[in-house]
Amino acid sequence: MSWVDIGTLNDIPLRGSRIVKSPAGCIAIFRTAEDEVFATSNTCAHKQGPLSEGIVHDRKVTCPLHNWVFSLETGEAQGADEGQIATYPVKIESGRLLLNMDAVVAKVA
Amino acid sequence: MNMHTLPVSDTFVRVAEVWVPKDGRLVHAEGDYAHSPAFAAASVAESFAKGEGLPGKVWESGKPIVLKEFDGSYFKRRDAAEEAGLTSAVAIPVFAEDTLKAVLVLFCSADADHMGAIEIWEYMEERLTLADGYYGGATRFEAASKNISFSHGQGLPGGVWSANTPILKRDIGRAGSFLRSEQAAEVGLKTGLGLPIPTPGDNVFVLTLLSALNTPIAHRFEIWDARPECVGATRQAQLIDGLCKREGALWAQQNPPVDPTMVSAWMGPIGKVLGTGLPYVQREGAGLPAGYTSMFALPIYHEADLAYVVACYL
Amino acid sequence: MQKLVIIGAGMASGRMLEHIHETDPAAFSVTIFNAEPRGNYNRIMLSPVLAGDRSFEEIITHDDDWYAQNKVTTRFGERVTGIDRERKVVIGEQGEVPYDKLILATGSTPFIIPVPGHDLPGVVGYRDLEDTNAMIDAAANQGASAVVIGGGLLGLEAAAGLRMRGMEVTVLHIAGHLMDRQLDEAAGYLLKLDLEKRGIKVMTEANTKAIVGEGKAEKVLLDDGTELAADIVVMAAGIRPAGQLGQQAGLEMGRAIKVNAQMQTSDPDIYAVGECVEFDENIFGLVAPLYDQAKVLANTLLGQEDAFTVRELSTKLKVTGCDLFSAGDFAEGEGREDIVFRDPKRRVYKRLIVEDDKLIGAVMYGDTADSNWFFGLIKDGTNIEEMRETLIFGPSFQGGGAAASDPLAAVAALPLDAEICGCNGVCKGDIISAIEGGVTTLDGVRMTTKASASCGTCTGLVEQVLAVSLGDGFEISKEKPVCKCTDLTHEDVRRLIKSQELKSQPAVWQELAWKTPNGCHVCRPAINYYLISDWPLEYQDDLQSRFVNERNHANIQKDGTYSVMPRMWGGMTTPDELIAVANAAKKFNAAVKVTGGQRIDLLGIKKEDLPAIWSDLNEAGMVSGHAYTKGLRTVKTCVGTDWCRFGTQDSTGLGIKLEKKLWGSWTPHKVKLGVSGCPRNCAEATCKDIGIICVDSGYQISVAGAAGMDVKMTESLVDVATEAEVEEWVSAFMQLYRENAKYLDRAYKWVDKVGLDWVKEELSNPDTRKALVERFDISQSVYRKDPWADHIRNRSEQYQHLADLTEEAVA
């Protein structure tokens, strides 16, 4: 299991997101109001909008292009929309953010 | 709280008050003391620790209590109660599972002209027997009640207990209608309100308020069903039974009811109970049915959820 | 006046008489017979009377006074022994009565199983008050026993009632489980448990062999040898239509008296109604079709056209504390499908019967909350194919589920001094005083307190105060709430933020009882704006509550790149500015577009290049054009007195002054101005949010125009003489709009809601105007600055990616 250090919790605005470039494309790292972190694909399943630019609420994000809402936990589109974005394991250790590279690489295959 | 002197009602219940827990004591939340402003003054500033006074004793024991004698008891406001002509009290705890939410205390005034009974039935060895009761002058009825016990589903206490729902029984003085109907008829008892009183632990209690034609417990009763099995996952309640001296029957004539009367949390006095989850007492003010100036309402819980609201209008 | 004779004073004929008397009381002289010694009562409610939950007086529908008032001759307690159709005469026990029209409403009789001993005293049916009283009297003896034969709806209600009266009760049912027509075995089992909990004994597959006793019923014997003590035996094994009189009179019969759709029998002067009729091979046992028939018959007798049709039926078991509802058709059949839901822990059972993609039957046990909704689907014949998967979970499950709502909680919790109406300074206590003084309507509140009488935006809150005080007597009009997180409208929330001094997002979520932890993409930007607008010095703009454009201060395009638009004040630029723009375009490979707002747009800029391009433009003295914002966009101008032959005033100069005063402020929606130097209006000022037309005598200010999806001309606000006055009025209007409008309402929508008259009234008051300008200036002291420079200085690293893992080696 390879965990890669990508930065600190405070690098990410509260209820916001920053991007990590990866072999699997851009990954958005989200920080919720409760300081939980989630990592998902940055690309909306609808028309490829940048999810990291969306509004983060509870444990969800709304795509800025056409308002599709995704769960940060499962990657599933909410409500009447059907779609799925990839999610990746990410954790906090001593204030540092660690992203699971195995999961990312598996996505490239 | 209204300090004007108003005509004394002819109902059995004269004073209603609500006590809520705060910082380890029971403090006064509201009350209707129109019958006696002096008693009001003695009460509003009071507070009780667990085990202290009537509300405190109810909290400590975890069950409803009927107090028949103020003299020589743990009752603190003895003198004020005497002056106000109050002769008995019933303190009803409102528990949501193990948490005490409030205590509703009703004070009654009985004499030769005012007949009524308040009873507490407790489940013991598979039957409901009388744990305590206040009967005013109805001694034969009292004797009959001490000798009787009810099985599941039997009689008003048994019916309330097995169905776990408030029931308003009519015509209890009629022969055959009530196990103690003969003695009840003697003193003119007509209506019986039975309430399940949930308490922590496995104890089952049923409170019955029996009233006579000329001194009813109240002039208007309402039973509202707030269970999710009836109204869904909303903060609403449906009127399922009621009697009013002015309007007559309040229940729906059709089966199933068409467009039943509903109320939402915070709408009017019943809505207040749905919203706060606590008993409520109101004197005058808006929201009371036409012709009524006073009411008290009691929430009944099934475990942690508010299941019924019973309202009496004096 | 025709002579109308009715045989049977039951619920059907009672309702029919009501209809006739409502419409034409003088049409008939009516005589009514009833075998029971009384008039009509609500027979459905006999079970609650048996249980003691209702008194008989409560269920009487037509008492002696009613019949007297309606001039009906009553022959109660008298049986009819025959009908002479030739002479058109009814023969009663006490004499004959002639008729012009005759109605048979003889109802049903209970089916008494013909076992030996069925005619012993103490064996009763369960049909009328006599039966009920017999049961109540039997219960008078302590410890007495009752046996109820028949475990259908009626039998179970009888058992529960008898048990309440203290008797030892046993129910016998011939089938394998109770209510076998509606319930399956599992549900029948749940019902049995419920009854046993009440101390009622239930025996299924029990066949009665005989009833025995000395002179009266004492025991019931079953086929398998069981003996049950019984002081009273109740036969609740079904009912049969009472058609004997029809049979005797030679009318056409089926299982009951046959009628057509007008309730007419084979004799044109004889009609029949109620449980004694057969229509189209149907007979009837529930009250709803009886009421339909009563209406049709009344209309027919009065000469009006009407026809009876069979409708869907529903009913509830009337056992206190037992929730059982059934509707429609539950018989098994080919092409019918069952959908069943069971929750053994909660003892809930629901069963739906579907045929041809329509719901035709429903049974709910233990949870009847959705019964009305299912019954509606059955009645309407709705096609349920789309919702088949989730149908059984009820209405709240179709479409994602709804959170339990408590819409009045926030208003109920407000203190009495909370200000509800800002225009007139009316607080909650004032409104409640008015209600206690007798006011019960919105108009009443408007008249007595003035609340909601001016701009009207507090109407929703006033209605909620009325609902909290008056309870179910008051109906609130349904305005759409902000979003799924709340039941409050925008107007409610704006007012409460002001009156309760809510100065942070958590304060709003808490005090206004938000259903979600921190809102959603709909409400967060709105709340963020309202807080900025009302508390400019205390509340800090929250970037994470802004749409991407406003957060990144650039317009996002469809491919995720951005467009950058520097400000060109009043549409005027300089060669140096143009050079800077051109250089930036080259450096960052931008597409160049001239916009309608009189400036230049650079498209195709990547997010990570934004701080750099801003920096370049800043160096040339250019700032953000706010082309993406809900704030001031542009002030379009025409050249005016500087250059134009027709210019009356310096429109360009004024436009620049206005832009410099207004830029940077956040508003409910974008604001665009136009200043034209003369009425030829080359700057198209008359379709802007605020437009100024210069004239010789000064400036004509008009507002509330639109030129997008709606096109609307501005309306005159005021004419002034000096530039200073223009600035004052325009700032005041901006601030009034900022403080009062709903988020995402353009100025024209807001003015439409509150009325231009109200706006004029407010702004015409010099003190109000001055105060508004002051508040605007305070807000501008915080926000009138270049966000680009701000972002370059404070958060440029946010525009870069956090990490680059493209080169990470794979182990």
Together in a domain, B87 and B23: yes
Q: What is the pLDDT of residue B75?
A: 81
Tell whether the model's pLDDT for residue A109 goes beyond 70.
no
What's the domain range around B78?
1-109
Concatenating the DSSP letter of every residue in C529-560 gives: HHHHHH-TTT----GGGS-HHHHHTSEE-TTS
Instruction: List the domains of chain C with CATH numbers.
Output: 2-108+241-301 (3.50.50.60), 112-237 (3.50.50.60), 323-397 (3.30.390.30), 548-624 (3.90.480.10), 634-785 (3.30.413.10)
Share of chain C above pLDDT 90, in %: 66
A37 touches chain C (CB under 8 A): no
Among B152, B171, B287, beta carbon nearest to C198: B152
pLDDT tens per residue, range B67-82:
887 877 778 888 888 8
pLDDT at residue number B112: 62
Percentage of chain C exceeding pLDDT 70 = 98
Higher pLDDT, B115 or C647: C647
Residue B118 pLDDT > 70, yes or no?
Answer: yes
> How does pLDDT run across C343-367, given as a tens digit for each residue?
877 888 899 999 999 999 998 899 9
Model confidence at C390: pLDDT above 90: no
Mean pLDDT throughout C256-277? Answer: 95
Contacting subunits of A (3+ beta carbon pairs below 8 A): C
**pLDDT level of residue B177 (50, 70, 90 thresholds):** low
- Residue where one domain finishes, among candidates B217, B251, B277: B217
Same structural domain, B125 and B206: yes
Which residue from C minimizes the CA distance to B158? C164
pLDDT 10s digits, B283-297: 888 888 888 888 999
Question: Are B104 and B135 contained in the same domain?
Answer: no
Mean pLDDT, range C17-24, rounded to an integer: 92
Whether residue C806 and residue A23 make contact (CB cut-off 8 A), yes or no, is yes
Strand order in the sheet with B47-49: B47-49, B25-32, B13-22, B99-108, B88-96, B65-67
Confidence of residue B4 (pLDDT cuts 50, 70, 90): very low
Total domain count for chain A? 1
CB B177 within 8 A of CB B213: no
User: What's residue B2's pLDDT?
Assistant: 33
Q: Is C197–B268 a contact, with Cβ atoms under 8 angstroms apart?
A: no
Q: Would the CB atoms of B170 and C314 count as touching at under 8 Å?
A: no
Among A20, A65, A105, the residue with its CB nearest the CB of C801 is A20
CA nearest to C6, candidates C203, C357, C379, C272: C272
Task: Indicate the residue of B159, B164, B256 with minimum beta-carbon distance to C316.
Answer: B256
Instruction: Give the chain C residue nearest B254 (alpha carbons).
Output: C44
Q: Which residues of A touch C399 (CB under 8 A)?
A: 80
For range C437-462, the mean pLDDT: 87
Phi-psi region of C487 (alpha: psi -120 to 50; beta: other; left: phi over 0): alpha
Residues 374-413 on C with a CB inside 8 Å of A are 399-400
Number of other residues whose CB lies within 10 A of the CB of residue C357: 13
Residue A21: list chain C partners with CB under 8 A.
801, 803-806
Asked if residue B45 and residue B139 are part of one domain, the reply reads no
Chain A residue with Cα closest to C545: A55
Q: Chain A: give the shortest CA distance to residue C668, in Å.
A: 18
Residues of C in contact with B273 (CB under 8 A): none
B181 contacts in chain C (CB < 8 Å): 140
Put simply, whether C811 touches A (Cβ < 8 Å) is yes
Boundary of a domain, candidates B92, B109, B126: B109
User: What pLDDT is stored for residue C189 in this prediction?
Assistant: 87
Q: Which residues in C lie closer than 8 A to residue A12 (C-beta atoms)?
A: 802
Per the CB < 8 Å rule, is C798 touching A18?
A: yes
Q: Are strands B88-96 and B99-108 parallel, antiparallel or unpaired?
A: antiparallel
Is B101 found in the same domain as B3?
A: yes
Cβ within 8 Å of B, C 156-185:
160, 163-166
In chain C, residues with a C-beta closer than 8 Å to the C-beta of A20 are 801-805
Residue C780 Cα distances to C122, C633, C660, C688, C776, angstroms:
93, 15, 11, 22, 6
Which among C517, C545, C801 has CB closest to A18? C801
pLDDT value for C587: 95
Does B3 score more than 70 pLDDT? no
Per-residue pLDDT tens digits for C563-593: 999 999 999 999 999 999 999 999 999 999 9
| pLDDT tens per residue across span C238-249 | 999 999 999 999
Looking at the complex, does the CB of residue B193 fall below 8 Å from at least one CB of chain C? no
- What does DSSP assign to residue C404? P
**A-chain residue closest to C546, CA distance:** A55
Cβ pair C517:A33 closer than 8 A = yes
**Which pLDDT band, with edges at 50, 70 and 90, does B32 fall under?**
confident
Q: DSSP alpha helices (H): ranges in C278-402?
A: 287-301, 371-380
CB contact under 8 A, C801 and A48: no
Contact C809/A at CB under 8 A: no
Chains B and A touch (3+ CB pairs under 8 A): no
Could you tell me if B263 and B282 lie in one domain? yes
Kindly give, in sequence order, each residue whose CB lies less than 8 Å from that of residue B198, ignoring residues fewer than 6 positions away. Answer: B95, B300, B301, B302, B303
* Residue B232 and residue B271 share a domain: yes
pLDDT tens sequence across A55-91? 999 999 999 888 899 999 999 998 878 899 999 999 9
Report the distance separating Cα C556 and Cα A54, nearest Å. Answer: 11
Residue B174 bridge partners (DSSP): none
Chain B residues with CB-CB distance to C292 below 8 A:
none
All residues of chain C having their beta carbon less than 8 Å from the beta carbon of residue A98 are none
Is pLDDT of C610 > 70?
A: yes
User: In this complex, how many residue pairs, one in chain A and one in chain C, have their CB atoms less than 8 Å apart?
Assistant: 99
- Quote the number of domains for chain B: 3
Closest CA to C164 of C22, C67, C286, C49: C49
Q: What is the pTM of this model?
A: 0.75
Contact check, Cβ <8 Å, C348/B159: no
With cut-offs at 50, 70 and 90, classify the pLDDT of residue B7: very low
A104 Cβ under 8 Å from any chain C Cβ: yes
Q: What is the pLDDT of residue A56?
A: 95
- Residue whose pair of structure tokens reads 């195709």 in the numeric block: C604
B161 pLDDT exceeds 50? yes
Could you give the angle at which helices C459-470 and C490-499 cross, rounded to 10 degrees?
80
Say yes or no to pLDDT of A4 above 60. Answer: yes
Please determine, for residue B1, whether its predicted confidence score (pLDDT) is greater than 60.
no
- Does an H or E element contain B273, and which? helix B268-276
CB-side neighbour CA atoms (13 Å) of C214: 0
Residue B127 backbone phi and psi in degrees, to 5: -140, 160
Rounded to a whole number of angstroms, the distance from the CA of A95 to the nearest CA of chain C is 15
In sequence order, the β-bridge partners of residue C240 are C109
- The CATH number of residue B206's host domain is 3.30.450.40
Cβ-Cβ contacts under 8 Å, A16 against chain C: 543-544
How many angstroms away from the CA of B264 is the closest CA of chain C? Answer: 8
Give the pLDDT confidence score for residue C810 in this predicted structure. 47
Identify from B127, B151, B154, B174 which residue to disrupt to test chain C contact, counting C C-beta atoms within 10 A and taking the largest count: B154
Of C549, C552, C802, the CB nearest to A18: C802
Residue with the two structure tokens 């089992």: C189
> Residue C755 has which token pair?
């009325």
Nearest to C165 among B151, B176, B251 (CB): B176
Mean pLDDT of chain C: 91
**CATH classification of the domain holding A15:** 2.102.10.10
- In this prediction, residue B8 carries a pLDDT of 45
C762 pLDDT above the threshold of 70: yes
- Write down the pLDDT at residue C811: 40
Comparing B252-261, C374-383, C430-439, which segment has the lowest mean pLDDT?
B252-261
Strands, E assignment, chain B: 13-22, 25-32, 47-49, 65-67, 88-96, 99-108, 116-124, 127-134, 149-150, 167-169, 189-198, 204-212, 220-225, 236-244, 248-249, 262-264, 280-283, 294-302, 305-313
C51 at interface of B, judged by CB pairs closer than 8 A: yes
Instruction: Give the ipTM of the model, two decimals please.
Output: 0.85
Give the helix/strand (H/E) hosting B274.
helix B268-276
C344 CB burial (10 A radius; 0-12, 13-18, 19+): exposed
Residue with tokens 């619920």: C11
pLDDT tier for residue B6 given thresholds of 50, 70 and 90:
very low
Residue C516 near chain A (CB below 8 Å): yes
Cα–Cα distance, B53 to C216 (Å, whole number): 58
Residue in C with minimal Cα distance to A64: C548
Over 70: is that where the pLDDT of B113 sits? no
pLDDT of residue B246: 87
- Residue B186, pLDDT score: 79
Neighbours of chain C (3+ CB pairs under 8 A): A, B
Rounded percentage of chain B residues whose pLDDT exceeds 70: 93
Average pLDDT, integer, range B164-190: 79
Q: What is the pLDDT of residues C528-558, one digit of tens each?
A: 999 999 999 999 899 899 888 888 899 888 8
Counting CB pairs under 8 A, whether chains A and C reach 3 or more, is: yes
Instruction: State whether residue C467 sits within 8 Å of chain B by CB.
Output: yes
**Number of neighbouring beta carbons within 10 Å of residue C384:** 16
Contact list in B for residue C325 (CB cut-off 8 A) is 256
CB of C527 within 8 Å of any CB in chain B?
no
B229, B258, B308, B313, best to mutate vs chain C, most C CBs in 10 Å: B229
What was the pLDDT predicted at B9? 54
